[in-house]
Structure 1
Amino acid sequence: MKKILLSAVALLMLFSCQNDTTEIVPSADSVTKRGCASQEVLAAQMKADPTLALRMNEIEAFTQKAMSSARLVNGKVQIPVVVNVLYRTTAENISLAQIQSQIDVLNKDFNAANSDFTSVPSLFSGVKANVGISFVLDQVIRKSTTKTSWGTTDAMKKTTSGGLAPTSPTTKLNLWVCTIGGGILGYAQFPGGSSSTDGVAIDSKYIGTTGTTTYPYNLGRTATHEVGHWMNLRHIWGDATCGSDLVSDTPTHNTANYGVPAYPHYSTCTGTPVEMTMNYMDYTDDRGMYMFSNGQKSRMSALFVSGGSRASFGI
């Protein structure tokens, strides 16, 4: 298990250096490995807005302070979800049942009510978490479009590019369902970004557990992963070889894992720890991810306390 000893200066350097990240997008829409563009989108946003790094540094400093002082949420956070469906074909205009199945998955995964939560190995049983955040479907907004794909430049979030603007983004989680393309399953905006683009985008083939959802990303875990980003979680390998996800109770991963790795899967990093491949913030198949850690819970909870970047959602 790793310890995080980062000063404000080091944090600022961490976020600033991400401006140089180059987006790597698969060339085909046939997805064989999980693709999340959240980190690449963040790098692009930082390049366009140099002040974003400063805001994220402030959020990180607040998060670390809230975690160390145990000034976290005592009550339950319930998040209203607005689902914005952008469709060209009948299949892309996903059903209300498919949308509700995704809300149900989020509620299970964030409350340790998923049936595979019992599969967490004993090595991690002491840190597996019930995050205690719930979700309720607020409304579904649908719009017909002629676009074949939307990409990762937030076009689906802007009426000027034919998309749908977010609804009350400071008090509601906006989730866009559309064809993203480029082999990307989804992406999220981290805390600190503009409210005009805040939320999560998921490809219509990887949302929920019924309808158009496609194996091996057919259990709704793409949204769980992306909402994790929206709540300030990094990829578990820290988007660098043996990088840090800024969480103290997750093992150091050397890189992303795909498919469903056999347990135990050892890291090549210092100490060769057993990797937490079943964590929602890895890149494994939907059936291979089924837990958050207590440290990740603390990071997410810190967003909703007074002074947190998502405190407007209340408790």
Structure 2
Amino acid sequence: MKKVILGMAALALLFVACKDDQSDLPDPQEIAVDMSDFYLYTDAASTSKGDKGNGRDCQSMSVLNRNLDANPGLFKKMYDIEKQVRQFIAAKKPSNPGNGGGPGGGDDGGGSPVDDGLGSLTIPVVVHVIYSNSNENISDTQIRSQIDVLNRDFNATNNDVNQVPQEFADRVANSDINFSLAQTIRVSSTRTSWGTRDDMKSSANGGSDAVDPANFMNIWVCNIGGGILGYAQFPGGNASTDGIVVSPQYFGTTGFVSAPFDGGRTTTHEVGHYLNLRHIWGDGRCNRDDFVADTPTSDAPNYSCPSYPTVNCRSNDMTMNYMDYVDDACMYMFSEGQKARMRALFAAGGARADLVN
């Protein structure tokens, strides 16, 4: 849903007009991206479609907004990360990117697949299981089932990817991102729900401290409460709380799981946030952007299993995208633009580069 505000030529002229000394002009790569649409605060609480009480509830954007209020420096960090992502993608695009499937083509992902030179990526994972009863103390088998789902979903080897409508079939992405379980930590607690204030990420609060978050993706599995399935921390946040949180009944595909979110896709969705993806509708109305060119514009989440086509903002929604709110059985793709955004984080100087070193 790329929102083109300044053309590249106009942006270059703006820099020239504002600087008398040509030697002070930024490197050409510095002016190859447009950051004028970068926006973090959202109306994420909006539930104009569907019944949120009976559907997927991801609190990632609400947690992000709270953290932005508490940490004035977070916006600048996230701005710089976004700029690095867009510069990396722009540098890898051919001079004629072709028909990217999104308005304007953009510098934020979309178009034909491009070799980014990063190769196959593997992220080591630490799972923290914090439990107050035997159900919440999920089995190793359930944990493994979730890792398997991640590996299928991020490599487009999931057996439901063939359900993607023809309209979007050429945008289905094999992100070539893999996940390897490095450690499982189990902590018994008398606490029956944890909320979204990151208490589960601290042993001082009865939870479990993050393990080397620069080099491992940490996942906390605990009962969040309030019907919340999960939430994630975007790149740029506090290292001690970096990772994702998922309630145990929505983690994996076997054991203590609860339909219709028993397909492991809550974790796929939250890892998408952890790797810098926004919700598919951009957490706003038709003019709000998810910073991906090949995802159609929409104005709110979809729930349950919507029929195709579902039309909003004068285009068909990509309801089957992992970053919407539909049931697990009805989400089964990332787009090429989303792939580009995620993988850019692993480039030299990227926010997640150490994860795969």
Give the alignment partner of residue 43 of structure 1, picking from 31, 54, 65: 65
Give the alignment partner of residue 137 of structure 2, picking from 80, 93, 104: 93
C-alpha distance after superposition, 1:126-176 (max 9, x if no partner)? 111001000011010000000010000001001121110111100100000
C-alpha distance after superposition, 1:181-238 (max 9, x if no partner)? 0111000000000110000000011000001110000000000000000000000011
Pairing 1:245–2:290 present: yes
Q: Secondary structure at the match of 1:223?
A: helix
Deviation at 1:3? 4.8
Q: Secondary structure at the match of 1:81?
A: strand
- Whole-Å Cα distance in 1 between the matches of residues 285 and 45 of structure 2? 17
- Whole-Å Cα distance in 2 between the matches of residues 41 and 181 of structure 1? 15
Contact 1:265–1:274 (Cα < 8 Å) also in 2: yes
C-alpha distance after superposition, 1:248-271 (max 9, x if no partner)? 00000121000000011111x1xx
Q: Secondary structure at the match of 1:150?
A: coil
Cα RMSD (Å) of the superposition? 1.8
- Whole-Å Cα distance in 2 between the matches of residues 296 and 4 of structure 1? 18
Give the alignment partner of residue 309 of structure 2, picking from 249, 252, 264: 264
Give the alignment partner of residue 196 of structure 2, picking from 136, 152, 156: 152
Which residue identity does 2:281 align to in structure 1?
A: W
Give the alignment partner of residue 119 of structure 2, picking from 32, 50, 75: 75
Q: Secondary structure at the match of 2:276?
A: coil
Deviation at 1:32? 1.7
Contact 2:194–2:222 (Cα < 8 Å) also in 1: yes
Deviation at 1:314? 2.8
Q: Secondary structure at the match of 2:240?
A: helix
1:31–1:209 distance in 2 versus 1, CA, 3 Å: farther
1:100–1:31 distance in 2 versus 1, CA, 3 Å: farther
- Whole-Å Cα distance in 2 between the matches of residues 250 and 10 of structure 1? 16
Q: Which runs of 5+ in 1 are unaligned?
A: none
Pairing 1:205–2:249 present: yes
The percent of aligned pairs where both chains have the same amino acid is 50
1:212–1:82 distance in 2 versus 1, CA, 3 Å: same
Deviation at 1:24? 8.1
- Whole-Å Cα distance in 1 between the matches of residues 236 and 90 of structure 2? 21
Pairing 1:66–2:94 present: no
1:148–1:133 distance in 2 versus 1, CA, 3 Å: same
Contact 2:46–2:300 (Cα < 8 Å) also in 1: no
Which residue identity does 2:334 align to in structure 1?
A: F
Contact 1:73–1:301 (Cα < 8 Å) also in 2: no
- Whole-Å Cα distance in 2 between the matches of residues 260 and 135 of structure 1? 28
Structure 1 match to 2:271: 227
1:4–1:77 distance in 2 versus 1, CA, 3 Å: farther
- Whole-Å Cα distance in 2 between the matches of residues 191 and 108 of structure 1? 23
Structure 1 match to 2:28: none
- Whole-Å Cα distance in 1 between the matches of residues 209 and 149 of structure 2? 25
Contact 1:81–1:173 (Cα < 8 Å) also in 2: yes
Contact 1:107–1:133 (Cα < 8 Å) also in 2: yes
Which residue identity does 1:158 align to in structure 2?
A: S
TM-score of the superposed pair, with normalisation by structure 1: 0.92
Which residue identity does 1:261 align to in structure 2?
A: P
C-alpha distance after superposition, 1:27-69 (max 9, x if no partner)? xxx9621000000010111111010000000011111111111
Aligned counterparts, 1:48-197, within 5 A: 48-70=70-92, 72-197=116-241
- Whole-Å Cα distance in 1 between the matches of residues 248 and 53 of structure 2? 13
- Whole-Å Cα distance in 1 between the matches of residues 207 and 85 of structure 2? 33
Deviation at 1:73? 4.3
1:22–1:207 distance in 2 versus 1, CA, 3 Å: closer
- Whole-Å Cα distance in 1 between the matches of residues 132 and 325 of structure 2? 29
Q: Secondary structure at the match of 2:316?
A: coil
Pairing 1:296–2:332 present: no
Greater radius of gyration (CA): 2
Contact 2:44–2:61 (Cα < 8 Å) also in 1: no
Contact 1:206–1:213 (Cα < 8 Å) also in 2: yes
Q: Which runs of 5+ in 2 are unaligned?
A: 7-33, 94-115
- Whole-Å Cα distance in 2 between the matches of residues 52 and 76 of structure 1? 30
- Whole-Å Cα distance in 2 between the matches of residues 205 and 31 of structure 1? 16
1:284–1:48 distance in 2 versus 1, CA, 3 Å: same
Deviation at 1:74? 2.8
Deviation at 1:10? 4.1
TM-score of the superposed pair, with normalisation by structure 2: 0.82
Q: Secondary structure at the match of 1:187?
A: strand
Contact 1:87–1:93 (Cα < 8 Å) also in 2: yes
